[in-house]
Amino acid sequence: DDDINDTFITLNELEESLTWQTVDGTSSEDQLERYTRHILEQRFEKLALSTLKQLDESNTNNSKEEEAKNIDDLNTLLELSPSSKCVNHQDATNQVYAKLVDKEKLEHSMKHDNVLIDATIVHSMTSSSYSKTTWEWLAPYIPQDWERWFLNTNWEQSTMPTYLPSFITKNSHNPPQTLLSLNTNVGSCWSIPGNHGQITFRLNTPLTSIHKLIVSHTSQTDNLQTAPKSISLIGYPPCSSTTSQQQHHCKRLGFDTTQPIQLHNVQFQVPQEYEDKEEKEEQDS
């Protein structure tokens, strides 16, 4: 019985096997399902071989009554409590998704803590917001050091509380500082006029490396065509490097303090099947 129990995979065992090294955050739903099926089939195969081996050994010397008792014991084993019962495909898939969600939340939180903490917006190098009711259009004409004196301090914060649904605040216009917030609810975004723009962050400390660039977009009309198509990441020399000592410190870290550096450029393609679907719907209409 101990050998048979060892061949079961429980929710706790599955959680231990779903490490971040084995589950790729970019995996599709089909890949995740195949992954969980692979784990379960391995354990099921081991269970079947172990069970058949024990039945064969016992049946060689046992009577039919003892053989029936072994089968009853096996059926009883399969009716264990939920905490010890073998996990099914749905539970396994839910466990994978939970792991991925926890991973994404932690990584997103770490990014904000390490990179955007105490960061500010350089308005003179940031596009104007899509708004006709705020003071943001005036920001490019005001030196950054004067902003806190001329503009209301509340203007520096997002105008959308994190607890409000997007349909209540969909007519509000959020400033660029919204991108510094941990709020990722639908509607907590910064809108710009036209089809292109830029935003510049002044970080509290220089960056020494960038591992990945993650862009999240949620369309109110469920249309992928509204998602960003091209994104460039550009690094600038530290804005506060006004003394020779600061310049030397930045050069020692490996920064070129004379000109901007294009660190990354990403081109996003809309899936072909989505484009075909859009064309078909237009033709039908």
Residues 25-47: pLDDT tens digits? 455 566 666 666 776 666 666 76
| Structure confidence by residue, pLDDT tens digits, 78-93 | 554 444 455 566 666 6
Percent of the chain past pLDDT 70, that is, above it, reads 20
Q: Is 105 inside a domain boundary?
A: no
Q: Which long-range contacts (CB under 8 A, 24 or more apart) does 184-191 make?
A: 184/108, 184/216, 186/218, 186/220, 187/160, 187/220, 188/158, 188/160, 188/162, 190/129, 191/129, 191/130, 191/131
Q: Is 104 inside a domain boundary?
A: no
pLDDT, residue 156, reads 39
Q: What is the dihedral of CA 59, 63, 69, 73, to 10 degrees?
A: -20
Task: Look at residue 193 and tell me whether its pLDDT is greater than 70.
Answer: yes
Q: In DSSP terms, which residues pair with 232 in a beta bridge?
A: 265
Do residue 16 and residue 94 come from a single domain? yes
Domain endpoint, select from 42, 68, 99: 99
Helix axis angle for 64-77 and 29-59, nearest 10°, is: 160
As for how many domains the chain has, the answer is: 3
Do residue 198 and residue 215 come from a single domain? no
| Structure confidence by residue, pLDDT tens digits, 124-174 | 888 888 755 455 556 556 555 555 455 444 443 334 444 444 444 444 567
**Which domain range does residue 217 map to?**
207-285
Its pTM stands at: 0.40
